[in-house]
Structure 1
Amino acid sequence: MVNASFCIPKTESLRTALARLNQNEKKILFLTDEAGHLTAALTDGDVRRYLLSGGTLEDSAANAGNRHPIAARSREEALRLLARHGCVAVPVLDGDACITDIVLEGERQPEPLPALGVPVVIMAGGKGTRLEPYTKILPKPLIPVGDLPIMEHIMRQFRQYGCTEFHGIVNYKKQLIKAYFSENEEHFNTVWYDEGKPLGTGGGLSLLKGKLSGTFFLTNCDLLIFTDYEKLLRFHRESGSAVTMVCAEKRVTIPYGVVETGEGGVITAMREKPAFQFLTNTGLYLVEPEVLDDIGEDEVIGFPDIIERQRRKGRRVSAYTVGEEDWLDMGQLDELEKMRSRLYGKA
């Protein structure tokens, strides 16, 4: 049940919002639109900064609010965000970004996540050309998302599930990556494998032959998946798959009217801004060790081609589906800001 004392329409004046803040035990409000969607968060600090910049108390509260507040999709995630960021309150949103609950500082901590103890292999050797010019200076695994490099975010995510054995396949600016983690106070247990030459998104796995005896996670170094990893592992094992690919639902709308034509240029159909839904490969997998045996030494190959090789051999490969909002990918510059906003909620 949503505590109404924490919510206010975004159209209310700052004067009204300030009065509500003074009555609010946590000194924070969440602004909503007419449909109940979360649009911003507002603290007394936000109000002070806005007034100092020339605003007035008669202006809309929306003008002063933080338009990228920290929010969660479940109470469990909200509790973890409270602990991670020192927040006083975190709203829980449904699939339409409407507030369904507000979790407050001091509430019961979440139950510890199950310890899976599965090794994690991180493909961290690429040049990250889509993130240039940043990757001219830093390798992609060390590009910061908020306070931490993306690769550390990934490792912390797995460590919540008791996955403490990491294997990093590196190439481009590998010494910087190794140096960062060798001096990291978190002391991640990582074994490094150097590619002699770029081997694609799958070829570097040949370096791990004989190193892994059981199921392992394989992930690219530019993504985060928010899902129940225990359910994912159980699905993989119960399906008897050699590889399970984590896929995200993706809806794409063509921003134009689409025309279909027949012989002689005759228009046969028209659709205005049609929408299509796909399953997309996120870059996170569960893999059985025998898959490595089918990769040649120094073979340049992408992991999707390795999956296809398994299919041709008659081995089962499966897709595990997550929602589009559960997949954060920083492979392109515009996605980098979305990931930072989701993790930190800062303007």
Structure 2
Amino acid sequence: MKVVILAGGLGTRISEESHLKPKPMIEIGGRPILWHIMKYYSEFGFHEFVICLGYKQYVVKEYFADYFLHTSDVTFDLANNQMEVLNNYSEPWKVTLVDTGLYTMTGGRVKRIQQYIGDEPFMLTYGDGVCNVDLNGLVEFHKSHGKIATITTVNIGQQKGVLDIGSDNVIHAFREKSANDGAVINGGFMVLNPEIFGYLKDDTTIFEQGPMQMLAEEGQLMSYYHDGFWQCMDTQREMKKLEALWQSGNAPWKIWK
């Protein structure tokens, strides 16, 4: 199953960092948060990624083009114009980087990568959040109910989409969050059937609005509730919080050795 990551936004709420690089390339523990997300998925056996790029997309492309320069020791033999990569460790990843436009909305970005997904279910998440959700459990739950979409839901005070969830885990309504709302929210880490592309019109489609609302109205949107760790990185304060967790040696999303 392929993993689609939304990594093309402007990151205006963390402009102290994002004026230099796209938000998913902001580093936690010396590695881009995008790398942390991919590493987490990879630990569950998901190794194929399609990354939706936009703002400063070349930074992400250059990072993967020079991946060994970022992660390994190297010897440069200048006289012979040769480079030797030392202590080489290669992630088992296949990464497709797609320029989905500078101002394309989230739904439009997903629509643009349809050709790289094909007629199969896929996973979708945002390129600025980490968690310790059981991804295998998430996929099994999605397969069990037969609906078009499953989203991981969390109960944290963030400015995200709010959900009205029934006792059967069917999401009956999806709306934007108000300032003092304490309801369960969309935490990303979704599983989607290919029918989702029929709900996405063009570059102006905001995934979290029309498509989500329509799926909810049709009873095609399911909740996989996660009561463990989840944290997005919308602000510099949240970036520092994630960095402190990493430096403490107790980062909940670090499940690899």
**Matched length:** 206
2:213 maps to amino acid: E
In structure 1, the partner of 2:147 is 241
Structure 2 counterpart of 1:322: 226
Q: Which residue of 1 aligns with 2:32?
A: 149
Partner of 1:223: 129
What is the CA-CA distance between 1:244 and the residue it aligns to?
Answer: 0.9
8 A contact 2:55–2:102 mirrored in 1: no
Residue number among 211, 224, 233 corresponding to 1:306 in the alignment: 211
Q: Distance in 2 between matches of 1:297 and 1:193?
A: 16
Q: Distance in 2 between matches of 1:177 and 1:334?
A: 23
Distance 1:251 1:218 in 2: 22
1:305 and 1:276, CA in 2 relative to 1: closer, same or farther beyond 3 A?
closer
Residues in 1 aligned to 2:198 and 2:21: alpha-carbon distance in whole angstroms: 33
Would the aligned equivalents of 1:226 and 1:327 in 2 still touch at CA under 8 Å?
A: yes
> Structure 2: which amino acid aligns with 1:137?
L
Question: Whole-Å Cα distance in 1 between the matches of residues 224 and 245 of structure 2?
Answer: 22
Gaps of 5+ in 2: 69-89, 159-179, 250-257
Identity percentage of aligned residues: 26
1:211 and 1:195 map into 2 onto residues whose CA distance is 12
Alignment of 1:275-294 (within 5 A): 277-294=182-199
| SS of aligned partner of 2:187 | strand
Match 1:132 to one of 15, 18, 24: 15
Q: 1:203–1:303: 8 Å Cα contact kept in structure 2? A: no
8 Å contact from structure 1 (residues 209, 293) kept in 2: no
1:196 equivalent to 2:98? Answer no
Distance 1:242 1:229 in 2: 17
Deviations 1:218-247 (A, max 9, x none): 011000120211111111111222111111
What amino acid does structure 2 have at the position aligned with 1:328? Q
TM-score, normalised to structure 1, is 0.55
The answer for the alignment partner of 2:52 in structure 1 is 169
Query: Following the alignment from structure 1 to structure 2, what is the Cα–Cα distance between the partners of residues 193 and 223?
Result: 20
Task: Identify the structure with bigger relative contact order (alpha carbons < 8 Å, sequence gap 6+).
Answer: 2
Equivalent positions of 1:102-117 (< 5 A) are: none
Q: What TM-score, normalized by structure 2, do the two folds share?
A: 0.74
Q: Deviations over 1:90-124 (max 9, x none)?
A: xxxxxxxxxxxxxxxxxxxxxxxxxxxx2100000
| Structure 2 counterpart SS, 1:190 | strand
Contact conserved, 1:242 with 1:315, CA < 8 A, in 2? no
Q: Which amino acid aligns with 1:222?
A: D
Report if aligned partners of 1:198, 1:300 keep a CA contact under 8 Å in 2: no
Q: CA-atom RMSD, angstroms?
A: 2.2
SS at match of 1:224: strand
Q: Match for 1:181 among 58, 64, 85? A: 64
Deviation of 1:311 after TM superposition, in Å, equals 3.0
Distance in 1 (CA, whole Å) between partners of 2:232 and 2:5 is: 15
Residue of structure 2 in register with 1:338 after alignment: 241
User: In the TM superposition, what is the alpha-carbon distance from 1:139 to its structure 2 partner?
Assistant: 1.0
